[in-house]
Structure 1
Amino acid sequence: MELRLILRMLRRRWWLIVVPVVVAVVLTLPQFLNRGTAISGGFYTSLRYTAAQETSNLPNRDGDFQDVWLASEYVVNAFTDWVRSRSFRAELESLVPDTVDVGALVVRADNDRSIGQIELEHPDAEQLTEIANAMLDILETRSQDYFPHLGGQAAQVAVIDSPVIVPQSPPLTNRFGPIIQWGVALLGGLMLAVIVEYLDPTLHHADELQTMGVRVLSKVPRY
């Protein structure tokens, strides 16, 4: 019985359900069909490097080179924190052209003992290339300004994996956003139909009279 009433209501109020969905489809269809840069996940690059203090600035060694490797690990540890700092971002802004939006840059850095890794994300591929090149320049030439124990000389930096710019996959919210919006519009249409049906005082079927306790003696066929 309840299912039959629901089906009647859906058949009677179908246009209230369809209209929000049609509006949502019209508004989001261009976004759904366009899989270009408008909804791309931006661009990504990473680089791995090693770094060490200039040999002439190391204390006198007696025996093996274990202290040299340990010093290199300390330098990479320091660089991992440095590249995430505001001062490093300020250095980037001073090197790249004004058209490059450093504020949109996402930086992640980590290290595995003496090997450091930097991951960069940016919405624009050309700007990310400018930033990656500037970052290498800063690592190779300006570390002595921030780490006095380097003895006034920039640390030696060797790049293991050069940065390669690659596009990222769009986030799930972008890829399925239009479909989610269509589902929300459908749910909104169903809720609207239920509200209108509840507020409508019109009687449409004999069953509704019987529910109110009114006896139905006869019915006039629609056709």
Structure 2
Amino acid sequence: MELRQFWNILRRRWPLVLLPALIVLGLGLATYRPAPPSYNAGVRFIVGQPPGAAAAESDEQRYYNWLASEYIVNGLTDWVRGLRFAEAVVARVEADQGVRLDPHAIQGGLAADNARSVLTISLTGGDPETVRQGLNGVIAVLTEDNAAALPQLGGQTAVLTQLDEPVVNPLPAGIRNQLDLPLRLALGLLAGAGLALLAHYLDPAVRDRAEAERAGLPILAEIPREKKNKSTDYTDFTDGKINL
């Protein structure tokens, strides 16, 4: 089937094409709810261990200190992503601030990344105060209770230097929420086009010569469509007279 035939079918049955999209639009407007606000705060740490006595005299010792710092960052990143870390944060917040948080919400909102000896932590949530309390708990657990997560240090606590203070900021609405209704409308139009093609396929009527020829029917005559001619009436103002 040529593209022109597709276009003629869709133009002839345009109500069917628009019907699903109009239904989707109506339901989308009736059930529309703005996306709930979300907030995020983050903090960066540089991680290391106190140098040994020979570090000041040995370049090799300093190199191994930096290398150990990178391994420590990797281990802390994996620890932060686990549920046990989130449970430790919840317990710390409850003990220090008297607030009970959901450990699964803390784990779902936490994000950790590392580059060399720098560890980046961020927490996302739907309430700015909860984000602030949760991130304070994260900082406390991460800096004070990390010895149990790093048995390679032999019970020593890894030294984390906080590089910046966390600031809670609102997050803009995601692009997914903005494109949700337009994508549904596009799918509705595609469904309408399929519905129009199906209706054409099931319609037994013959609408043009090509369809009759494909059906094997002999063509005796063809009556062309009536075309509207432009009006030939005119007004003549010659010699001061009006002739119609």
Matched residue type, 2:203: D
Aligned to 2:83: 86
CA spacing shift, 1:30–1:159, aligned 2, 3 Å = farther
| 1:104–1:122 contact (8 Å) kept in structure 2 | no
Aligned with residue 135 of structure 2, among 124, 132, 135 = 132
Any idea what SS the aligned residue of 1:214 has? coil
Task: State whether structure 2 residue 111 is matched by structure 1 residue 107.
Answer: yes
Task: State whether structure 2 residue 21 is matched by structure 1 residue 21.
Answer: yes
Matched residue type, 1:48: R
Q: What pairs up with 1:68-217 in 2 under 5 angstroms?
A: 70=65, 73=69, 75-96=72-93, 97-100=99-102, 101-113=105-117, 115-147=118-150, 154-205=157-208, 208-212=211-215, 213-217=217-221
Q: Deviations over 1:122-163 (max 9, x none)?
A: 344333222211101102321233345656564443311122
Structure 2 regions of 5+ residues with no counterpart?
94-98, 227-244
RMSD: 3.6
CA spacing shift, 1:108–1:144, aligned 2, 3 Å = closer
Matched residue type, 1:112: R
Q: Deviations over 1:71-99 (max 9, x none)?
A: 77254444333322333122123234434
| 2:17–2:195 contact (8 Å) kept in structure 1 | yes
Q: Deviations over 1:173-218 (max 9, x none)?
A: 3221211111111111001100111011123446544553233447
Any idea what SS the aligned residue of 2:100 has? coil
Question: Residue 15 of structure 1: CA displacement?
Answer: 1.1
The number of equivalent residue pairs is 214
| 2:47–2:161 contact (8 Å) kept in structure 1 | yes
- Larger relative contact order (CA 8 Å, sep ≥ 6): 1
Question: Residue 221 of structure 1: CA displacement?
Answer: 8.3
Aligned with residue 45 of structure 1, among 17, 34, 41 = 41
TM-score, length-normalised on structure 2? 0.68
Matched residue type, 2:166: P
Question: Residue 49 of structure 1: CA displacement?
Answer: 1.5
| 1:43–1:166 contact (8 Å) kept in structure 2 | yes
> Identical aligned pairs, as a percentage?
24
